[in-house]
Amino acid sequence: MPTAPRVRQGMTLGLVFGAVLFAGAASGAWGEPIGSSRAPLSSDGVRGADLSGADLSPQEARQLVGASGDRWAAYLSPQQYRDFTGGRYPGVGLTVERSADGPTEVAEVLPGSPAARAGIAVGDRLVSVDGVPAAQLPVTELVSRLRGGPAGSEVVVGVQDGDGPVRELGLTRAELAAREVETDRPSPGVARIAVHAFTKGVAGQVRAAAAGARGVVLDLRGNSGGLVEEAVGVASAFLDGGPVASYQARGEHRELTATPGGDTAVPLVVLVDGGTMSAAELLAGALQDRSRAVLVGERTFGKGTVQQPSTLADGSVLELTVGRYQTPAGRSPDGTGVQPDVPAPAGDDTGTENLALRVLDGLSPAPEPSGAP
């Protein structure tokens, strides 16, 4: 089975639930427009403001992100944002994960990537990026730094294998294609679909992969989020309309709803873990609340905030938190995560996957008896 990496309906589908795309798959509360002046901006001045069209230099935008106090804020160049939403990116081929209070560790290394050629391995600790300690940076800023230049540019990372010395490695970014959806057939008629992040087209890929299956295991482990309309699109593949989530933005209550016509009959199990974040938690919580799927695995990360992108005058994008979302039952996973229906031991991927298949068997209808009564 493909291994999950670790690490916008509403408001005109203009929301990002903070995908954490780390150079190989990994990644905003803003009121009146600032306009195009270059007047200095304080963190107090941007709370509740819409910065679309603001004429800010990259340095000013990054300073604004740093001063906002918003741990999920991010600045993306025009190319970075296109890559981020479109499934291609300049990067080094690392997937990383970070527990709530733990170090940042390498969870996957893309074969043939710059990281792989430099000898970086799964389990190594990411200590620094361009000399800045990784522990001091929110995950979105790590993304910005790891993917902060075009293919051919260099980023210096500090990595550590266990208690060994920290190695400083200069990695040359390459153009990489994100593998956001991977499928296999663990048993006849069963589709196991791993979704690593929600970029453009993911919902259609999931729908196609699930077509004709007698059972589906939807693997959201390590999925750090992404485009909300794609997460809602995946929900729509298994729901016949109805609520997916809701959130408050600028004092208004907004609803995210599934498109009618999804397959509500195929048995469905969803795999989750501590790397399941943001839009992936939204999806898992919706399917759980709607009694459409059984969740198997570990408690999810607990990021229940909504980021809205503001496109600046030069085409770059600021993502800043505009609110928190709730599942159809009114739960907020922010800080608490989504609890699985069937817990599984941490660190035993094979055992968890086998458990998911047993649960799926229990959900499947009994075969019709053969022969005459």
Residue 17 token pair: 């639930």
Helix (H) or strand (E) holding 280: helix 279-289
Give the three-class secondary structure for 160: strand
358: how many CB neighbours lie within 10 A of its CB? 11
Q: What are phi and psi of 62, to 5 degrees?
A: -65, -40
Give me the catalytic one of 27, 68, 144, 303. 303
Q: What are phi and psi of 314, to 5 degrees?
A: -90, 5
Give me the catalytic one of 27, 113, 144, 278. 278
Return the exposure string of 296-317: e unless at least 16 CB atoms fall within 10 Å of the residue's CB, then b: bbbbbbbbbbbbbbbbbeeebb
Q: Is 278 a catalytic residue?
A: yes
Q: Are 248 and 324 in contact (CB under 8 A)?
A: yes
Q: Determine the Cα–Cα distance for residues 45 and 300; give it in Å rounded to an integer.
A: 33
Q: Determine the Cα–Cα distance for residues 44 and 67; give it in Å rounded to an integer.
A: 9
Q: What are phi and psi of 222, to 5 degrees?
A: 75, 5
Q: What is the CA radius of gyration of the chain?
A: 21
Q: Is 303 a catalytic residue?
A: yes
Q: Which residues are catalytic?
A: 278, 303
